[in-house]
């Protein structure tokens, strides 16, 4: 979106080229199946199929900022969108092409827009290569799909008005505060897990929970940490995020089971975005959508084993 801050990050290899290309990739229509034959040949793996096809087909959403949504020009944007683009570029374009021809990224990813309940069916029916749609890892889902390594850890936090005297769940606990939260079967317990004495007000959308905060009907909104950070990024003079959070959950990409080579490649690419040579790409996307500048991974002993 036009009023988001532009991260000032130095990339020693390809950041400028990748950043210029990030908004230029093709977006598929809202149909669930992309055009063309997708029958899987049992003799070849997904990695070879995608490379032979020349584009990655990613299943994602279009209505959940900051993860996947349409901007004011109707372009599909968001953190999940950027991550899918990074994977496609790493798989299908060499470094020199990405540096000298940013527009080359436009043809290497196709997005299939789908509802959340279509993520696993579309993957298992071979309509997509990968799910890049803020998918929470659960043991039950892991019986149906292969999850990649995590790329984000979500949690519940509080969104306050910028001038509020509260800064955390500790500050607001004991005040009988009114907490707005999205209506769901666990809304009451979820809010009180963070603020035990809260007066819980439920609403039919996240947008309306934030409107309750804006209007003064609520003292805070209990929402996803990523959503809170996104709103603060858009309006830092209007909102602030609590300094703590609760009920963490893991987001990962998902691929169809039975193809270890494909899973290994995606995990390797993700790992290098998170802690390796390509960290600046992940860092830029993270700051763009969440307003947080991540410190680079420490050198020396691998951070994965600390």
Does the pLDDT value for residue 128 go beyond 70? yes
Calpha distance 256→2 (Å, rounded): 36
Calpha distance 117→3 (Å, rounded): 32
Mapping DSSP to helix (H, G, I), strand (E, B) and coil, where does residue 59 land?
Answer: strand
No. of H helices and E strands in the chain? Answer: 12, 11
Does the pLDDT value for residue 43 go beyond 60? no
Beta bridge partners of 111: 58
Q: Burial of 195 by CB count in 10 Å (0-12 exposed, 13-18 middle, 19+ buried)?
A: buried
- Within this chain, domains 15-145+256-305 and 154-248 share the same CATH topology: yes
Calpha distance 240→251 (Å, rounded): 24
Q: What is the CATH topology of the domain spanning 15-145+256-305?
A: D-Maltodextrin-Binding Protein; domain 2 (3.40.190)
| Mean predicted confidence (pLDDT) in 109-134 | 97
Calpha distance 120→111 (Å, rounded): 15
* Confidence label for 272 from pLDDT (cuts 50, 70 and 90): very high
Q: What would the pLDDT profile of 218-270 be if each residue is shown by its tens digit?
A: 999 999 999 999 999 999 999 999 999 999 999 999 999 999 999 999 999 99
Tokens of 240: 């602030």
Residue spans of the domains in the chain: they are 15-145+256-305, 154-248
- State the pLDDT at residue 31: 41
Percentage of the residues of the chain whose pLDDT score is greater than 90 = 76
Whether the CB-CB separation of 152 and 78 falls below 8 Å is answered with: no
Whether the CB-CB separation of 202 and 187 falls below 8 Å is answered with: yes
* Confidence label for 107 from pLDDT (cuts 50, 70 and 90): confident
Q: Give the containing element (helix H, strand E) for 84.
A: helix 79-92
Percentage of the residues of the chain whose pLDDT score is greater than 70 = 82
Higher pLDDT, 83 or 107: 83
Does the pLDDT value for residue 288 go beyond 60? yes
Nearest one of 148, 124, 122 to 135, comparing CA atoms? 148
- State the pLDDT at residue 101: 57
Farthest-apart Cα atoms in the chain, separation: 64
Question: Across all residues in the chain, what is the average pLDDT?
Answer: 86
- 222 phi, psi to nearest 5 deg: -90, 110
- State the pLDDT at residue 97: 62
Does the pLDDT value for residue 201 go beyond 80? yes
The CATH number that domain 154-248 falls under is: 3.40.190.10
| Mean predicted confidence (pLDDT) in 199-204 | 97
Q: What would the pLDDT profile of 151-188 be if each residue is shown by its tens digit?
A: 999 999 999 999 999 999 999 999 999 999 999 999 99
Is the four-CA dihedral 217, 219, 222, 225 of positive or negative sign? positive
Q: What would the pLDDT profile of 15-24 be if each residue is shown by its tens digit?
A: 333 443 434 4
């Amino acid at each position: 979106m036009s009023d988001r801050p532009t991260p000032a990050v130095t990339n020693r290899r390809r950041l400028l080229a990748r950043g210029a290309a990030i908004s230029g990739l093709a977006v598929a229509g809202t149909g669930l199946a992309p055009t063309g034959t997708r029958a899987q040949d049992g003799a070849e793996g997904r990695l070879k199929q995608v490379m032979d096809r020349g584009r990655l087909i990613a299943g994602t959403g279009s209505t959940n900022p900051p993860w996947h949504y349409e901007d004011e020009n109707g372009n599909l944007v968001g953190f999940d969108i950027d991550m899918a683009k990074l994977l496609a570029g790493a798989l299908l374009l060499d470094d020199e092409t990405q540096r000298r021809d940013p527009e080359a990224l436009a043809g290497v990813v196709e997005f299939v827009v789908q509802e959340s309940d279509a993520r696993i069916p579309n993957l298992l029916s071979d309509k997509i290569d990968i799910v890049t749609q803020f998918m929470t890892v659960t043991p039950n889902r892991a019986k149906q799909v292969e999850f990649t390594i995590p790329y984000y850890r979500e949690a519940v936090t509080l969104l306050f008005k910028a001038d509020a005297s509260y800064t955390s769940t500790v500050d607001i606990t004991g005040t009988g505060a009114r907490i707005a939260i999205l209506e769901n079967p666990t809304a009451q317990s979820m809010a009180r897990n963070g603020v035990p004495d809260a007066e819980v007000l439920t609403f039919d959308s996240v947008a309306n929970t934030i409107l309750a905060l804006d209007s003064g009907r609520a003292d805070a909104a209990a929402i996803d940490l990523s959503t809170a950070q996104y709103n603060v990024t858009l309006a830092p003079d209007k909102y602030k995020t609590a300094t703590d959070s609760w009920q963490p959950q893991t987001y990962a990409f998902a691929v169809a089971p039975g193809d270890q080579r494909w899973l290994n490649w995606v995990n390797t690419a993700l790992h290098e975005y998170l802690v390796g040579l390509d960290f600046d790409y992940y860092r830029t996307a993270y700051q763009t959508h969440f307003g947080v500048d991540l410190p680079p991974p420490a050198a020396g002993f691998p951070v994965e084993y600390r």
